Amino acid sequence: MEKKTMQQRRIDFYQNEINVLESHLKELKEELKEEREMRRFETHHIKEMFTHLNDKEKEEYGHFLLFLEEV
């Protein structure tokens, strides 16, 4: 049975670390994508609800809508 050199073991170790990190990064990107989609949906829903407010309510809650547009 062939023994791995110290250099080859290091290469294998770091390649494994890279694979783990890439997998974790992929998961984080997917979570971020889901969060963005949820935020987009929530913002759209709030804007739709805002259109049904009367003028006084729109004036009272208008700052909230401006905040959502900035986010």
**Residue ranges covered by each domain of the chain:** 6-70
* The overall pTM is greater than 0.85: no
| The residue to which tokens 């949906």 are assigned | 41
pLDDT band at 1 (very low <50, low <70, confident <90, very high): low
H or E stretch at 26: helix 6-50
pLDDT band at 71 (very low <50, low <70, confident <90, very high): low
CA pair distance 23, 16, nearest whole angstrom: 11
Q: Is 68 exposed, middle or buried (0-12, 13-18, 19+ CB in 10 A)?
A: middle
pLDDT digits (tens, 9 = 90+) for 20-29: 999 999 999 9
